[in-house]
C-alpha cells in the first residue's frame, strides 16, 4: 500500500528514496541499528526533517526581521522592565532561552538520547509516529525560544 504523502510527492515528480537526510539521519540510523525500523519508516523521518527545516527557516527569518527592525526590538523593552520590577534577571532569561533552545533543538533530533528514557523508549516502540510528531513539536518550540533569546540579547546589548 502506498502512503498518501508518497502519492503527493510523486504528483510533483519528487522521489525521496535516493536523497539523504541531513538533520534526522542520526535518528533514522539509530532506528535501523536497533531494529526499530519496523516501527518508523523513512518517510516519517522525512516529515520530521521537513518540519525541522521549516522551523529553522522561520526562526532565522524572525531573527533577521528582528535585527533589522528597531520597532520589534523596542517591544522587548516591556519584557525587560517587567523583569526589573519583579527583581528578576533578564540575563537569566536570555541565557535560558538561548541555551535551552539549542539543547531542545539538538535533543529533538537525537533519538539515541531519548531512547535511554523509559517513557520515550516505550513511545518509540508503541507509537513511533507520535514520538516523531513530538520531536517535531519540540524542535519548533525550541527554535522559537532560541530566536526570542537572540532578539532579547540584541535588545539588552543595544540598550546599554
pLDDT tens column, 90-145: 788 888 999 999 999 988 888 888 888 888 888 888 888 888 888 899 999 999 99
**Phi and psi angles of residue 144, each rounded to the nearest 5 degrees, phi first:** -65, -45
Of 147, 112, 111, give the one whose Cα is nearest residue 132: 111
- CB 53, CB 105: distance < 8 Å: no
pLDDT tens column, 24-83: 777 777 777 776 656 557 777 888 888 888 999 999 999 999 888 888 877 877 777 887
Cα–Cα distances in angstroms (integers) from residue 141 to residues 13, 52, 73, 101, 107, in the given order: 32, 11, 20, 8, 12
**Phi and psi angles of residue 84, each rounded to the nearest 5 degrees, phi first:** -65, -40
Between 3 and 53, name the one with better pLDDT.
Answer: 53
Amino acid at each position: 500500500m502506498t502512503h498518501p504523502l508518497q502519492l503527493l510527492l510523486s504528483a510533483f515528480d519528487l522521489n525521496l528514496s535516493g536523497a539523504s537526510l541531513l538533520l534526522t539521519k542520526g535518528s533514522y540510523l539509530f532506528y535501523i541499528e536497533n531494529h526499530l525500523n519496523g516501527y518508523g519508516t523513512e518517510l516519517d523521518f522525512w516529515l520530521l526533517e521537513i518540519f525541522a527545516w521549516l522551523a529553522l527557516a522561520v526562526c532565522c527569518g524572525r531573527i533577521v526581521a528582528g535585527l533589522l527592525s528597531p520597532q520589534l526590538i523596542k517591544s522587548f523593552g516591556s519584557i525587560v522592565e517587567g523583569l526589573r520590577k519583579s527583581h528578576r534577571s533578564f540575563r537569566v532569561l536570555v541565557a535560558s532561552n538561548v541555551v535551552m533552545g539549542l539543547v531542545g533543538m539538538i535533543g529533538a533530533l537525537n533519538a539515541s538520547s531519548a531512547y535511554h528514557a523509559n517513557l520515550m523508549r516505550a513511545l518509540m516502540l508503541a507509537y513511533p509516529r507520535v514520538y516523531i510528531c513530538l520531536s517535531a513539536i519540540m524542535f519548533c518550540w525550541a527554535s522559537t525560544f532560541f530566536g526570542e533569546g537572540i532578539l532579547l540579547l540584541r535588545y539588552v546589548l543595544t540598550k546599554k
